[in-house]
Amino acid sequence: AMKACGDKEFVYYLPRFTAVEPDVPAGVPVMVHGVGQYNKYNDGRKIYCSYICNMFNSNFPLDAYQVTHSVELFRRDIRELASRYSGRLETMVFGRTELMYTRDPHLASGSITDEKEYTFPVYRDADGFAHILNSSDFMLLDFMKELERYGIDSVGIDVRKRPAMLAQLVGQAFRGEKGADLAKLKQVCGGVYNTGHYLRKE
C-alpha cells in the first residue's frame, strides 16, 4: 500500500482496539483513536486523531498534527470549533458512519434489518469485533464551499470495504471533475444519502 501511494502521504490507520498495539515503522504517520495510542506513537512522527478520540475530553492531546472532529456536530458547532481551534481540523464528508462496535459473537458479517426495514451493513474485523454501519451514506458534497469558508483544512472520505467503482465515483465527485457522474454515484449508494447532524436544527 505504501508503494501504491507514490508521492502521496501514507497514514497507517490503527485498529480501534487490539490486545497488542502493532509495531509501525518509525516516521510513518498514524491515525490514532485514543489517548493511549497517541502516547505510544508520539515519537516525533505525524499523528492524526480520528473522531473517535473525542477532542473535547480533558485528556485530549493538543499537539496532534490533525484532528477529525465528531460526526455528531452540526454546522454551527463546526463553524465555531474551526474559529477557536488553532490546529489542523478535518470534517468527514462521505461514508457509512460506524454506529456501533461490539464483541457480540452472534453477530456475523453481513447485514441486519430493523423494524423500519432499514438495513445496516455489518463486518467483523481480525480482532473479533463487529462493526455496524449506517444504513445509508453520509454525504456533504453540497456543503464543501461552506466548510472551506469555515476554515476546515481537510475533508475525510471513508470508502473502506466498498467497491473500487464506488471509490472512483466518489473521488471524481469531490475533485469536481467534469465527467463526475453524480447520478450514478447516488444509484450505487442505494439512491439515498444522509447529512448526519450537519443540518440539525438548534
Per-residue pLDDT reduced to its tens digit, 151-165: 999 999 999 999 999
Per-residue pLDDT reduced to its tens digit, 54-111: 888 888 877 899 999 999 999 999 999 999 999 999 999 999 999 999 999 999 999 9
pLDDT band of residue 20 (cuts 50, 70, 90) is confident
- In whole angstroms, give the CA distance from residue 190 to residue 165: 14
Hey, where are the domains in the chain? 98-133
Per-residue pLDDT reduced to its tens digit, 165-182: 999 999 999 999 988 999
Taking Cα atoms as reference points, which of 96, 52, 93, 113 lies closest to residue 198?
Answer: 93
pLDDT higher than 90, residue 16: no
Q: Left, alpha or beta for 32 (phi > 0: left; psi -120 to 50: alpha)?
A: beta
pLDDT band of residue 5 (cuts 50, 70, 90) is low
On average, the pLDDT of the chain sits at 92
- Please identify which residue in the block is written with the cell numbers 451514506: 137
Number of H helices, E strands in the chain: 5, 12
Encoded amino acid at 183, one letter: A
pLDDT band of residue 2 (cuts 50, 70, 90) is low
Encoded amino acid at 23, one letter: D
Rounded to two decimals, what is the model's pTM? 0.90
pLDDT band of residue 32 (cuts 50, 70, 90) is very high
Identify the pLDDT of residue 42.
Answer: 94
CA 170 to each of CA 23, 33, 34, 47, 122: distance values in angstroms, whole numbers, following the listed order:
32, 25, 28, 26, 22
Identify the pLDDT of residue 193.
Answer: 98
pLDDT higher than 70, residue 4: no
